[in-house]
Amino acid sequence: MMKIEAIIQPSRLESVKDALLEIGIDGMTVTEVRGHGRQKGHTEVYRGREYTVDLLPKIKLELVLPDNLVNRAVETILKSAKTGKIGDGKIFLSRIEEAIRIRNEERGESAL
Amino acid sequence: MKRMGIWCCCLLTLVLSSLPTPTPAQNTPASSAASAATPEASKATIDKLSQLDQRVTAAQSAGDNAWMLLSAALVLMMTGPGLALFYGGLVRQKNVLAIMMQSFALMALITVLWALVGYSLCFGGSGPVIGNFQFALLRGVGVTPNPVYAGTIPQLTFMVYQLMFAVITPALITGATAERMKFSGTILFMTLWFLIVYAPMAHMVWGKGGMLNASLGGRFPTLDFAGGTVVHITSGVSALVCALYIGKRVGYPKQPMPPHSMVLSFIGACLLWVGWFGFNAGSALAAGGLASSAFVATHFGAAAAALSWSLAEWLKNGRASALGAISGAVAGLVAITPAAGFVAPLPALLIGFIAGMFCFWMVTKFKAIFGYDDALDAFGVHGAGGTIGALLTGICAQSFINPIFGDGKPVGGFDGHWRQVGNQLVGILLAWVFAIVGTIVILKIVDLTMGIRVSEEHEIEGLDITQHGEEAYNLKT
């Protein structure tokens, strides 16, 4: 089992979700987050006072998948989240030891 | 003129009422009506005429009263929700209820004070500085007009209309002390400020015998149609004094303190704009041509200032912001307030244009140079805009709009009466001095008794929770 964490542009959320659904992935957790990598923030001016906003709004997707689905999912996210500009985000992969469904205490891949 | 009009009207009505069937009045020539009146006008005719006279007066009174009651409601709307939303959006999320509550509390507090002594101190008697207790507890204030101020509307209407001005004026000050002033201290401060600063200023400018009154025997006739000095200079200058006395907010100016909701501020500013028609056009105290003139000037001033502030911002920052546009409109409305019933439409555009640029400079440059924390720019907009407006009123006022000094007598600089600019300066100076001295004394009193500023801990936590025990947005529950 692998966990995919993808930080993406808020504007790409819908297309990423749709693309994942098309390859049969329909479970995910979405969080609104703020952050920045190489992308610099912007400045806002209120009555002459300038504020630098360097933490920008992003969306974090979390999916835990059986190993055989991971590559296709990553390709799909890459394709659907890309705008080609700085600030498109990143994907992190990590191994997952165990998964448990709370309702019936199923364990392992069948709990996903 | 008016008298003749009434006579013609009466005669016309007499003729028409003697006809067997009603016909459209428009086609009956006035001359035939006149010839129908016999020289031996009987007692019955005279009675009828005086009855008609009463009815005409009643009709005018009804028209004027309708407009003035509506105007009073419009001016109340400027404080709540207008100003409350405008200021509420500009503060941080943790202080929005506190600033709105300050405006709302004044709607209640000043109303009670007004009934007890306020109206009387502003409009009773004929002293040069302050009124008397003639109307204390609203004694003698009923449906009969008070011909000294407004002969065609019930004095109750005049009283309640003027009350709304007394409500919004102290509310404007809360912009300077936002996000750090105690609620208890605010209540005491506002009570004293209303009695010590507002009441004398209102009497001096608008009260009979007041030393700045332009039409009722003032020594230095200052033109102030709707409150450039009384409302905006006094509140704006007091706001500056308060900001200096109370000190900067924790973290200012290093820590970012952007408005928490520009949408609220936007709605508030638009409500202010609409409400201002009641404020300025209502100050004609009647529904006639002068109200129309003031209405148009008000609208033009606001529009020109919104444009000029935006233009200045565009040139300086490369963008025109929403906050800039609405701040400009408010600055224009402030500046046109003393001028509204004295200037023609095009000079109103000029006043607005200058005020927008000037207030932009005051708020962005002047404040930064001196480093005081006038949190929501009560001084930069109301103090500065009121001052420039009062001055420009002396220049732009014209007798064909409002012959306040008598028929044919010149009014302002455009009429060649440049001395009026000097009178305006006296009025401005007096308002500044009164506001500064009065406010310092009041701040001292409040500081020594109730305390004026919240603790640093409470300030960081936010006034909504520490002063009122509430939060503005519990969206997730």
**pLDDT tens readout for residues B126-148:** 999 999 999 999 999 999 999 99
Tell me which chain A residue has its CA closest to the CA of residue B376: A47
Q: What was the pLDDT predicted at B37?
A: 54
Question: CB A102: neighbour CB atoms within 10 A?
Answer: 7
Residues B262, B153 share a domain: yes
Inter-chain CB proximity B253 and A49 less than 8 Å? yes
Does some domain include residue B125? yes
Structural domain range at position A23 = 2-111
Inter-chain CB proximity A47 and B363 less than 8 Å? yes
pLDDT, tens digit (0-9, with 9 covering 90-100), for B349-392: 999 999 999 999 999 999 999 999 999 999 999 999 999 999 99
Tell me which chain A residue has its CA closest to the CA of residue B327: A47
Mean pLDDT throughout A4-32?
A: 94
Kindly tell me if the per-residue pLDDT of A43 is higher than 60: yes
Phi then psi dihedrals of residue B130, to 5 deg? -145, 155
Residues B132, B15 share a domain: no
Q: What was the pLDDT predicted at A38?
A: 76
What percent of chain A stands above pLDDT 70?
100
Residues B116, B35 share a domain: no
Residues B240, B125 share a domain: yes
DSSP class per residue in B256-285: ----S-HHHHHHHHHHHHHHHHHHHGGGGS
Residues B194, B291 share a domain: yes
Contacts of A49 in chain B (CB under 8 A): 253
- pLDDT classification of A32: cutoffs 50, 70, 90: very high
* Alpha carbon of A32: minimum distance to chain B alpha carbons (Å): 15
CATH number at residue A65: 3.30.70.120
Residue with tokens 């005409």: B56
Residues B448, B335 share a domain: yes
Q: How many domains does chain B have?
A: 2
The answer to whether the beta carbons of residues B53 and B3 sit under 8 Å apart is no
**Residue B329: C-alpha distances to residues B210, B261, B271, B333, B337 (Å):** 31, 18, 11, 6, 12
Residue A4: left if φ>0, alpha if ψ -120 to 50, beta else—which one?
beta
Inter-chain CB proximity A46 and B368 less than 8 Å? no
Contacts of B377 in chain A (CB under 8 A): 47
- How many contacts, defined by CB atoms under 8 Å, are there between A and B? 22
Q: Is B107 exposed, middle or buried (0-12, 13-18, 19+ CB in 10 A)?
A: middle
Residues B156, B216 share a domain: yes
Tell me which chain A residue has its CA closest to the CA of residue B90: A46
Q: How many domains does chain A have?
A: 1
Does some domain include residue B434? yes
The answer, for B179 touching chain A at a CB cutoff of 8 Å, is no
The answer to whether the beta carbons of residues A99 and A111 sit under 8 Å apart is yes
pLDDT, tens digit (0-9, with 9 covering 90-100), for B28-47: 444 444 445 565 668 999 99
Does some domain include residue B60? no
**Distance in angstroms (rounded) separating the CA atoms of residues B335 and B298:** 9
- pLDDT classification of A54: cutoffs 50, 70, 90: confident
**Distance in angstroms (rounded) separating the CA atoms of residues B257 and B153:** 47
Inter-chain CB proximity A46 and B253 less than 8 Å? no
First to last CA, chain B: 68
Contacts of A51 in chain B (CB under 8 A): 256, 258
Contacts of A32 in chain B (CB under 8 A): none
The answer, for B364 touching chain A at a CB cutoff of 8 Å, is yes
Contacts of A43 in chain B (CB under 8 A): none
Q: What was the pLDDT predicted at B391?
A: 98
Measured between CB atoms, which of B321, B327, B365 is closest to A45? Answer: B321
The answer, for B321 touching chain A at a CB cutoff of 8 Å, is yes
The token duo for B186 is 């605010």
Q: What is the ipTM of this complex?
A: 0.77
Q: What was the pLDDT predicted at B57?
A: 92
Residues B152, B101 share a domain: yes
Q: Which residue has the higher pLDDT, B124 or A56?
A: B124
Q: What was the pLDDT predicted at B399?
A: 96
Q: What was the pLDDT predicted at A37?
A: 78
Inter-chain CB proximity B321 and A51 less than 8 Å? no
Residues B229, B110 share a domain: yes
* Alpha carbon of A51: minimum distance to chain B alpha carbons (Å): 6
* Alpha carbon of A44: minimum distance to chain B alpha carbons (Å): 9
Tell me which chain A residue has its CA closest to the CA of residue B359: A47
Give the residue among B151, B188, B405 at the shortest CA–CA distance from B285: B151
* Alpha carbon of A12: minimum distance to chain B alpha carbons (Å): 25
The answer to whether the beta carbons of residues A92 and A39 sit under 8 Å apart is no
Does some domain include residue B477? no
Residues B70, B48 share a domain: no
Structural domain range at position B328 = 65-468
Q: What was the pLDDT predicted at B38?
A: 62
The answer, for B258 touching chain A at a CB cutoff of 8 Å, is yes
Tell me which chain B residue has its CA closest to the CA of residue A52: B256
Contacts of A47 in chain B (CB under 8 A): 323-324, 327, 363-364, 377
Contacts of B363 in chain A (CB under 8 A): 47-48
Inter-chain CB proximity A49 and B377 less than 8 Å? no
Q: What was the pLDDT predicted at B11?
A: 44
Per-residue pLDDT of chain B (477 residues; tens, 9 = 90+): 444 444 444 444 444 444 444 434 444 444 444 445 565 668 999 999 999 999 999 999 999 999 999 999 999 999 999 999 999 999 999 999 999 999 999 999 999 999 999 999 999 999 999 999 999 999 999 999 999 999 999 999 999 999 999 999 999 999 999 999 999 999 999 999 999 999 999 999 999 999 999 988 889 999 999 999 999 999 999 999 999 999 999 999 888 899 999 999 999 999 999 999 999 999 999 999 999 999 999 999 999 999 999 999 999 999 999 999 999 999 999 999 999 999 999 999 999 999 999 999 999 999 999 999 999 999 999 999 999 999 999 999 999 999 999 998 999 999 999 999 999 999 999 999 999 999 999 999 999 999 999 999 999 999 999 999 999 998 766
Mean pLDDT throughout A101-109?
A: 94
Who's near B205: CB < 8 A, 6+ residues apart? B212, B213, B222, B224, B229, B230, B427
Contacts of A48 in chain B (CB under 8 A): 363-365, 367-368
Residues B129, B20 share a domain: no
Who's near B160: CB < 8 A, 6+ residues apart? B69, B72
Residues B118, B18 share a domain: no
